[in-house]
Amino acid sequence: MTNSFYERGPLVAEIGSLQVCHDSFATLDDFQPVDTTIMDFFCAHLNSFYDNAENGQNRVYFMPPDHVQLIQRYSPSLIKDHINFDFIQSHQIVFMPMISSSSFSSCSSSFSNLSSYNTFSSCDDLSSNNTSDVPFSTSQSISSLSNLNTIEHFNNSILLNNSENPNPVFHGFNNLHWSLLIWKPHARSSGFMFSHYDSAGNRNKESAKNLAHKISMIYKLRNGRFINCKAPLQRNNYDCGIYVMAIMEYLSRPRPGIAEMINIITPQFISLYRKCTADMIQTYNTNPPHELVMETVLKRSDTI
């Protein structure tokens, strides 16, 4: 079993994965909320970037949002058996882009611009002795599973060769809101193991606390302290995903300053960050980025 599908190399430029992101690209370019396809792509990009960076390996890990949703959705006993936390815990900082757990109960609105499956398998690093037991999942499929309570039901519902449902329609969330939970597996007893950044203040605070509590239960963490941190605030109802992406990039850099982050990540910065991220996605195959989007924005911005 491989520790992570990111170990396969620069997967972001592989066939299909980029096309799916292009299918969802309008949600980024037209000032609409970021869907899980784009967030999946972005996390994969950051993992690939840091895996190839000097001293980047084993320092930071960006968990795909569909992995985060699996942890939110299922019981600790199921999660511990099916997700390789040993690999995750080998990192110093784990970034977990998450949505409010209350969103799982309402799944009636479709994702816009979705024309193909997300080729990122959210469960590719799950442990299994039988490969047929490993669910081949997509961001969109996970977001539609509001009534499943076992991994077996999960498998049977979204396997692509499911003859009873050969052409499933995947749905998104009503009132979807992104925020960021950061887990430091090796935090000292005096420090906070979990920190939460929400561009809407406290909107996802309880969901983040529940996620931190579940992770603490899974591995019996004694230092599962949680803090809701001050974060840059959005001024509209659709930029939460862009804020999460920018905050992840900023905090992944060595010795980031929180006060400086508040001053840097402004609405003007986010507008330019959105454009630079869209440009990065469009040109990824022909011109893979050699720096974080944030560095590009800082160079191009006249307001910072």
Q: What is the pLDDT of residue 36?
A: 84
Question: 128-134, long-range: CB within 8 Å, 24+ apart, which pairs?
Answer: 128/1, 128/82
Residue-level pLDDT at 230: 93
Find the range with the poorest average confidence among 2-6, 42-46, 218-222, 273-277.
2-6
pLDDT digit string, tens, across residues 79-114: 777 778 888 888 999 999 999 866 554 433 332 222
Q: Would you state the structure tokens that stand for residue 74, as one six-digit string?
A: 């299922």
pLDDT digits over 180-200, tens only? 999 998 887 666 799 999 999
Q: Which residues contact 296 (CB under 8 A, 6 or more apart)?
A: 276, 280, 289
> Top-level CATH class of 5-300?
alpha beta
Hey, is 105 helix, strand or coil? helix
Residues 6 or more apart in contact with residue 54 via CB below 8 angstroms: none
Q: Would the CA dihedral through 265, 269, 274, 276 be positive or negative?
A: negative
Token couple for 259 = 């006060």
Burial class of residue 180 in the structure, from the number of CB atoms within 10 Å of its CB (0-12 exposed, 13-18 middle, 19+ buried): buried
At 66, give phi and psi (nearest 5°). Answer: -70, -25
**pLDDT at position 27, please?**
61
Query: pLDDT by residue (tens digit) across 48-86?
Result: 888 877 655 678 999 999 889 889 888 877 777 777 888
What secondary structure does DSSP assign to 190-225, as a single string? Answer: TS-SEEEE-TTTTTTHHHHHHHHHHHHHHHT-TT--
Residue-wise pLDDT for 248-299, tens only, equals 999 998 877 778 899 999 999 999 999 999 888 888 878 888 889 999 999 8
Residue 21 is predicted with a pLDDT of 60
Domains of the chain by residue range:
5-300
- Answer for the pair 151, 135: CB distance below 8 angstroms, yes or no: yes
pLDDT for the residue 19:
53
Task: Count Cβ atoms within 10 A of the Cβ of residue 35 and give its class: 0-12 exposed, 13-18 middle, 19 or more buried.
Answer: buried
